[in-house]
Amino acid sequence: MAMLITKFNKLIANKFVWIGFTFLIVVAFVAWDMAVPEEDRDPAARQAAGHLFGEPVSPDEFRSAYVHTHMGLTLAMGQPLRMTEELDAELTRMAWKRLASLKHARQLGIRTSDREVVEAIRAFPDFHDQGQFNPDIYRAFLHQYLGQLGFGPTQFEEHVRQELVLQQLQRMVSESVLITPAEIQRAIHSFGDEFTVQYATIDEDVLGEGLEISEEEARAFYDKDPEAFTIPPKVRVKYVRFPIADFKDEVEITEDQALSYYDLNIDDFTEYEEQEPALYDEEESPPDDDDLFRVATTIPFEDVKEEIMDRLRRDAAARRAADVATDFVISLVPDRHGDAATFEEAAEEYGVIIEETEPFARGETPENVDAGIAFAQAAFDLRPHRDYYFSDAVEGAEHMYVLALDERFASYVPDYEEVQDQVHEAARADAVARAVEDLAETFRDTAQTELRAGQTFEEIADIFAIPVSEPVTFSATVGLDDRAYGDELLRAVLVYNEGEVTEPVEIENRHLVAHVAQRTAADMDQYADFRQQIVSTLTGERARILFEQWQEQLLEKAEFTPREIPDPAPADEDDFYEDDWVMLDRHD
């Protein structure tokens, strides 16, 4: 034994042996490095939703960008979006542009402070009452409006932060925008010209007796384009929820914490009142708004202490619920031996009830779920695979959710019988729309001819039994605020001269045809004081278009490569565990 040890000591002391041994190790690792694709060595790359600037973008990061893009468009429209495959594709593209822009902003060192976010929210006119920020209006907006859409207060504040960063980027991109004098003159005419107009409204009521669609006509309508009735991809998921309210008892908020929050957010507890200067000459007119000044009054801490403590308690409970939901998710992750709890086992261990949605399409929100589009996006990210069948924690207005894929339903073109009622409705709507459009075109052509022959617009409309409005005089700033379709009517007449008849303007399920009886040109001198404001408006619109083009170029520069989460591996492969996958273990 001693001789063996001595020989071994000599062996390990021999540097040539170590050099050879090192060479073998290096060769082995190089061979392994060449044989194994980079994505397989990097879990983040393997699970990435795509790549920007050579770095993987996680599904969670992309989902967050998608949610903020969806939120921005929803707020701009002022109503929930009607989701379609086309809109989803556009939102997806916009989300990637948003991500690339925000990453580029970080590279440039562009940041937005908490104070800037607070000031931006306080400056938003919709949160004002009598010219000053009203916290009650803001809170009602967060809980009653955003909450119904599935967005939370934290998401909104982060959305504002991101928008401020994007605005800084847009200002940098648009520094070279120039507006010509001719463009300013056209803008003044559009803004200041005064129109006197009559308009006819053509809709289904003008057609007389209602249109009826026969079975043969409906069948022919379907056969012409069966793909128009395609059932979109759908998904059904199981999910558990962790109510945020259940964790409030675990949270203790001290008065010192509330006071610290009060001091850091004192602007939220400051009310402003517009007051006139104490003295001014009685012979002069009262002061304009610009001459007014604001008097600040701070709400005492004792008056808002309970409100602050409730807010902090809710936020802390939400973090606690998110932690527990994340622990639930971790229990579903296979260990190094491939063992993991099933969704049912984890639910039993955590004492939560498994609920199940009806099949729903992308962009739809299942009933009784308060996480909105984030829930749907998370559901469609799931795949029948041990690593992808469950979601991360998804935050809702009052709950944290964890989802598990139950079944995916592929898109398909249904047989006529399956969508017969839908086809009849669509065929009739199409027939009505074509009939209304044809009548509007005929009326417009007739009006152009007969007006030159001396007939009035009303007389021509009477021939077609089409209702006509009384003459209305307006400009871009005056006269249409209380009139239905005022904005559409204004846009329609801007490009027409006196005596002309507009092309039919489609609005919802009707058409408007307007006669410009008179157009009075704006007084250029009158708008001289508004010249800079007009330039600013034109510059802003030009900058918006330029920024969108810049974002597209940025995606190319970032070498943007989207990637779907992998499809499931075949059931007989070693890395796919039947026991862990709920779809293969369903009890029928």
Residue 352 pLDDT greater than 50, yes or no = yes
Q: Ranked by mean pLDDT, which of 5-14, 24-33, 166-175, 561-570 comes out on top?
A: 166-175
Q: What mean pLDDT comes out for the span 409-419? A: 94
Q: How many CB atoms lie within 10 A of CB 50?
A: 19
- 181-192 helix and 531-557 helix, angle to the nearest 10 degrees: 120
pLDDT of residue 483: 65
Q: Quick one: how far is CA 34 from the chain centroid?
A: 42
Give dist(CA 357, CA 404) in Å, integer. Answer: 11
Kindly tell me the burial class for residue 140, based on how many C-beta atoms sit within 10 Å of its own C-beta (0-12, 13-18, 19 or more): middle
Specify the higher pLDDT residue, 400 or 49. 400
pLDDT tens per residue across span 490-523: 888 888 999 999 999 998 788 999 999 999 888 7
Contact 468, 199 (CB under 8 A): yes
Contact 309, 253 (CB under 8 A): yes
Give dist(CA 447, CA 481) in Å, integer. Answer: 27
567 falls in which pLDDT band (50, 70, 90)? very low
Q: What share of the chain is helix, strand, coil (3-state, %, to 5)?
A: 55, 15, 30
Which regions of 158-251 does DSSP assign to beta strands (E)?
A: 194-202, 234-243
pLDDT of residue 443: 94
pLDDT of residue 408: 94
pLDDT of residue 525: 77
Q: What mean pLDDT comes out for the span 349-363? A: 93
Specify the higher pLDDT residue, 28 or 229. 229
Q: What mean pLDDT comes out for the span 283-298? A: 57
Q: What mean pLDDT comes out for the span 52-67? A: 89
Q: Which residues pair with 512 in a beta bridge?
A: 201, 505
Contact 393, 383 (CB under 8 A): no
pLDDT of residue 375: 93
By mean pLDDT, which of 40-44, 266-270, 376-380, 512-516 is the weakest?
40-44
Give dist(CA 124, CA 157) in Å, integer. Answer: 13
Residue position matching structure tokens 């998370």: 378
Cα torsion for 340, 344, 346, 349, to the nearest 10°? -130
Q: What integer best gives the mean pLDDT of the chain?
A: 81
pLDDT of residue 4: 35
Measured CA to CA in angstroms, residue 125 lies from 275, 542, 587 at distances of 19, 24, 55
pLDDT tens per residue across span 317-339: 999 999 999 999 999 998 888 88
Percent of the chain with pLDDT over 70: 82
Residue 473 pLDDT greater than 80, yes or no = yes
Specify the higher pLDDT residue, 325 or 251. 325
**Half-sphere exposure of residue 432: CA atoms within 13 angstroms, side-chain side:** 22
By mean pLDDT, which of 16-30, 111-125, 423-437 is the weakest?
16-30
* Rg for the chain, CA atoms, rounded: 33
pLDDT of residue 75: 84
95 falls in which pLDDT band (50, 70, 90)? very high
Q: Map out the domains of the chain as residue ranges.
A: 2-35, 46-181+530-562, 194-227+418-520, 234-409
pLDDT of residue 275: 58
Residue position matching structure tokens 């203790």: 252
85 falls in which pLDDT band (50, 70, 90)? confident
What pTM was estimated for this model as a whole?
0.54
Specify the higher pLDDT residue, 369 or 35. 369
pLDDT of residue 331: 93
**How many helices and strands (H and E) does the chain possess?**
20, 16
Give dist(CA 274, CA 286) in Å, integer. Answer: 14
Give dist(CA 553, CA 547) in Å, integer. Answer: 10
Residue 268 pLDDT greater than 90, yes or no = no
- Name residues whose C-beta falls within 8 Å of residue 294's C-beta, 6 or more positions apart in sequence: 132, 272, 273, 274, 275
Residue 442 pLDDT greater than 90, yes or no = yes
Measured CA to CA in angstroms, residue 516 lies from 191, 397, 464 at distances of 16, 51, 19
pLDDT of residue 182: 82
Residue position matching structure tokens 């009384």: 470
Measured CA to CA in angstroms, residue 377 lies from 238, 267, 360, 365, 392 at distances of 14, 36, 11, 10, 12
By mean pLDDT, which of 170-174, 297-301, 401-405, 442-446 is the weakest?
170-174
Q: What mean pLDDT comes out for the span 170-182? A: 81
The SS3 of residue 200 is strand
DSSP string, 312-344: HHHHHHHHHHHHHHHHHHHHHS--TTS----HH
CATH code reported for the domain at 46-181+530-562: 1.10.4030
Which regions of 137-249 does DSSP assign to beta strands (E)?
A: 194-202, 234-243
